Structure 1
């Protein structure tokens, strides 16, 4: 029987939701799996809702389009929940039983009682992960929030490896096989002006991925086969 995961990511413009989905999808392929992505967004502007859908399997994937019934949801910004900044509402709509919700927040959020009840009925596993805080601590910027989330979900699911995620980052920022949208390209230019060398940008993003991976391991969230990454988790700002 094929192993299959449908992943829905939701956030706001400027957080790199689409870039994060590309990183994870490419990393799964580097690790020997199959994966496809479908981004979905309206106006390309900061704080506008953004979603991206990643399919992962150990067999060829033929479906395209949005993911209505995900096994995993990744929430990049708490406003997806508190302000309804999502194209799919409620934020957990369609989440399969025993599904995973990885939420970027410094601690548990107070959900509406109906939401809490429905998630409990689905036996959903909620992980509150301070991705933005970790990005600031490790890389000195919040723009690596997406990398922290990809590292964390990689460890939780065991779908890929740290090495494959690192290779995906190199592919992404060295321009190998990746076509960006106009808005993302503009954001890349802003980010790259903050660093003298592109290599430093890659190192910072990889450091945040490793930190997210290790956070999941240290908190007992990781898949049984996943081990802690012993490489350095921080770089000089």
Structure 2
């Protein structure tokens, strides 16, 4: 696993694309899917009877003679986002089209929804504060299992992410260092959260807990049979 010339070129291009003017390009229609992991065990030791991982793909997998996918590119979103955020004209329209750096006719692009985000399992689906505590490591393990158990990807060409997804990219590097050809974390540093970032998040949590109507966010009662 290395930070290859391919990754460096893509990083430089991403910095420049915001100021460039390009005509809208076409790429294969995105496909959505779900993968359920039964009895998923979190790093905290807690378990969930069924963890759903939602994902979007663009393009088709290309396999070698042994049946292994050889063209997978994984892109992970930031906090409060979802995989389909990358389908915007500003991103997909400048990367996924014919002849572009992540041409979806060449690469099999996988956009997972992280745990707690998008259409993947998250506290707001019902468990609220009873939902297991989850970390970047849990997110990466769930994505690794999605790739290997559901999508048949044993090795990725590139794994990248923005912000929180960038932090997950760093985690991929130490948990599965031989799984990919290149890593490209964007807008993230491999350090413990601190400073203003930590302060603002802690303030948001405290403000919710101070609301007299919050009451510990108990799990709502099951609806009574009609």
Length-normalised TM-score, structure 1 = 0.26
Structure number with higher helix proportion? 1
User: Which has more radius of gyration?
Assistant: 2
Length-normalised TM-score, structure 2 = 0.27
